Amino acid sequence: MKAMLRTPIATDSRKRFRTIRNCMFLSGLSVFAQLYLFQPMLSELCVFFHTDLANSSLAVSASTLGMAVGLFLFAFKADDFVRERLMGIGLLVSAVLTLASAFITVFPLLLVVGFLKGMVLSAVSAVALAYLTDEVDKPMIGLAISLYLSGNTIGGMSGRVAGTLLSGWVGWQYAVAVIGGVSLVLGYFFIRKIPASGHSTVVPVSFKEKIRQMKSLLLHPQLICMYLVAALSMGTFVSVYNYLSVLLVSPAFGLSHEVVAMIFMMYTAGVAGSLVTGRLSDRYNPGMLLQWALLLMCVGLVLLLVMHLGVLILGLGLFTFAFFGTHTMASRIVSAHAAFAKSTATSIYWLFYYAGSSLIGSLTGIVFTRYGWNLFVELLLVLIVMALAVSLIPVAHVWYSRFRVQVARN
């Protein structure tokens, strides 16, 4: 009798989990397809707007900078909103802005719209991980987060592949319009299907209390280390994909835009990275998995120094797999260690993540333009080694604390 009574509840729970999983996957598709849609179109933007490569990369950086600014604002206010409603509005409004950008003929205006789009998309990223952490059963959190980040990965891949092909065939405006239209449809389905939050309530917090919370989060040794890892690893990742296509169409390789588009299919390795590390993190220490992922990123970058197409593709695959594993573990650690104000904690994580994307992604372009591919990759390798060192600080802190306790006992 007890089993019969539990069955409908268990069935409803599984159905709710599947709905949440699917909706968050769709939101990830939309966010990353829109956020980085100009990344494979930099050469076309150079021609259309009569600008150089470093300036055209601002079309990507403007959106990620807008995301960072929006996340800074949501770090104060994210816990004051109904999470699923905030995400739905963000998806719809950002799609409208993406569609509008297809009709822009002045480069500064394109940057302004991109910045606003990034700010709107930050509404999704600010609360997505907190929504998952609160609404999904604990044994399934690792899988749920990895599926959400897989949606980010596939969205980034789809946007880049579609953008590369369509911009090469019919122009960048048509490519942007298609991605904006698809994103509008995804936003509509998200709003229709996303379950209402059942485990969190909107509790207004005073500005003074929010400052206190943020100060506490930024002084938390585990959290601040993960924030720095996010900034360094994401900045490195965006830098590789920003300028790799430029290298591949250069005389060194001379590939067509159709072939270059297939390079972005390497994002499937990122899907595998998120899923594998997400599942493993339910069984093994996420911090240890994070460090192995960062080491694998280093291996991938070293292979990118070899000017042979096969080795370059292998290095890119390892690098992409490892980056998404890094991101999955770092974001899970933040969600797990934020004992309060989860939305604020994850907003700060995404703030560092996109600030790294914007600043490092643009500044490394100057290195690539002036000094070439090899020095560019070597600089990125230094950044990942720094991220690995930062990830070890919490481990060192634990060992030091244990040592002090042992000394005190003796």
Do residues 243 and 255 make contact, with C-beta atoms less than 8 angstroms apart? no
In angstroms, rounded to a whole number, what is the distance separating the alpha carbons of residues 112 and 114? 5
* Crossing angle between the packed helical segments 58-77 and 42-49, to the nearest 10 degrees: 110
Q: What is the mean pLDDT of residues 133-141?
A: 70
Does residue 331 or residue 232 have the better pLDDT? 232
In angstroms, rounded to a whole number, what is the distance separating the alpha carbons of residues 337 and 220? 9
pLDDT at 344: 74
Quick check: is 347 in a domain? yes
Q: What is the mean pLDDT of residues 82-105?
A: 90
pLDDT at 3: 45
**pLDDT tens-digit map of 71-87:** 778 767 666 667 788 88
Q: For residue 199, what is the enclosing H or E element?
A: none
In angstroms, rounded to a whole number, what is the distance separating the alpha carbons of residues 329 and 235? 17
**Of 142-156, 196-210, 358-372, where does the model show the most confidence?**
358-372
- Could you give the angle at the alpha carbon of 278 between the alpha carbons of 273 and 281, nearest 5°? 125
Identify residue 66 by its one-letter amino acid code. G
Dihedral of CA atoms 11, 134, 155, 107 in degrees, nearest 10, equals 150
Examine the pLDDT at 295 and tell me if it is beyond 80. Answer: yes
The number of folded domains in the chain is 1
Quick check: is 35 in a domain? yes
Which is nearest to 387 in space by CA: 326, 337, 341, 342?
326
Do residues 258 and 165 make contact, with C-beta atoms less than 8 angstroms apart? yes
Quick check: is 1 in a domain? no
pLDDT at 2: 42
pLDDT at 158: 75
Do residues 273 and 290 make contact, with C-beta atoms less than 8 angstroms apart? no
Q: What is the mean pLDDT of residues 326-344?
A: 77
Quick check: is 18 in a domain? yes
* Distance, first Cα to last Cα, the chain: 58
Do residues 293 and 326 make contact, with C-beta atoms less than 8 angstroms apart? yes
pLDDT at 338: 67
Do residues 297 and 327 make contact, with C-beta atoms less than 8 angstroms apart? no
Do residues 133 and 342 make contact, with C-beta atoms less than 8 angstroms apart? yes
Q: How many CA atoms lie within 13 A of 237 on its CB side?
A: 33
pLDDT bin (cut points 50, 70, 90) of residue 5 is very low
Phi, psi of 79 (to 5 degrees): -75, -5
Does residue 200 or residue 355 have the better pLDDT? 355
- Six token digits for residue 367: 């290195």
Examine the pLDDT at 373 and tell me if it is beyond 70. Answer: yes
In angstroms, rounded to a whole number, what is the distance separating the alpha carbons of residues 235 and 354? 8
Do residues 31 and 124 make contact, with C-beta atoms less than 8 angstroms apart? yes
What mean pLDDT is reported for the chain? 81
Does residue 406 or residue 361 have the better pLDDT? 361
Examine the pLDDT at 347 and tell me if it is beyond 90. Answer: no
**pLDDT tens-digit map of 210-258:** 677 777 777 777 888 999 999 999 999 988 988 888 888 878 887 777 7
Quick check: is 170 in a domain? yes
pLDDT at 98: 94
pLDDT bin (cut points 50, 70, 90) of residue 300 is very high
Distance of CA 35 to the CA centre of its chain: 10
**Of 336-340, 381-385, 398-402, where does the model show the most confidence?**
381-385
pLDDT at 183: 92
- Six token digits for residue 299: 């291996």
Quick check: is 261 in a domain? yes
Do residues 325 and 333 make contact, with C-beta atoms less than 8 angstroms apart? no
Examine the pLDDT at 46 and tell me if it is beyond 80. Answer: yes
Q: What is the mean pLDDT of residues 54-58?
A: 78
pLDDT at 120: 92
Range of the domain at 264: 12-195+208-397
Does residue 117 or residue 11 have the better pLDDT? 117
CATH of the domain at 227: 1.20.1250.20
Give the least confident one: 7-11, 192-196, 297-301, 353-357: 7-11
Examine the pLDDT at 118 and tell me if it is beyond 70. Answer: yes
Long-range contacts at 302-305 (CB < 8 A, ≥ 24 apart): 302/381, 304/240, 304/377, 305/374, 305/377, 305/378
In angstroms, rounded to a whole number, what is the distance separating the alpha carbons of residues 392 and 356? 20
Residue 61 CB burial class (10 angstroms; 0-12, 13-18, ≥19):
buried
Quick check: is 4 in a domain? no
pLDDT at 52: 78
